[in-house]
Amino acid sequence: MHNQALEADDHRAALQDAIAAGVPAIQQAFDTYQRLRFIARPSEFFALELCGEVGELANLEKKRWRGTKVDETHVADEAADVFIALMNYCNARGIDLDSAVRAKLDRIRPTR
C-alpha cells in the first residue's frame, strides 16, 4: 500500500509539472486571441457560456446513455467549447489556472 501512495505522489508531481509547463502559455494565448478577436465581456458572461457549453456536452452524454447514436465529432466540438469557455472565464476573472489546479491537486487525495 505504501508503494502505491508513493507512486501516486510521483504521478501527481509529474502532472503538476506538465500543468506548469503548458497551462500558463495556453491561458495567455487564449487571452490574447479573445482580446484581438472579440469584444470585451464580463466574467459573468463567460460563466453563463461555460454552463451552457457544459450543458450541451452533458446532453450528448445523456443521449448516449439512453442508447442514441451520437456523432463523436459533435462530442469533441462541445468538449472544445467547454475548454474555450473555461479559459475565457478564468481570464476574465483573473484566475491563474495553473496555480489553482496545482494547488487543488495538493489538497485532494486519491480514494484508493
Q: Mutual orientation of helices 2-37 and 97-107 as an angle, nearest 10°?
A: 160
User: Which CATH code, of 3.40.640.10, 1.10.287.1080, 1.10.3720.10, 1.10.275.10, is assigned to 2-107?
Assistant: 1.10.287.1080
Q: Would you list the domain boundaries of the chain?
A: 2-107
Top-confidence residue, 47 or 108: 47
Q: Among 8-12, 54-58, 71-75, 100-104, where is mean pLDDT lowest?
A: 8-12
Q: Average pLDDT of 3-27?
A: 84
Q: pTM score, two decimals? A: 0.85
**CA-to-CA dists, residue 58 to 16, 44, 50, 62, 70, angstroms:** 27, 21, 12, 6, 12
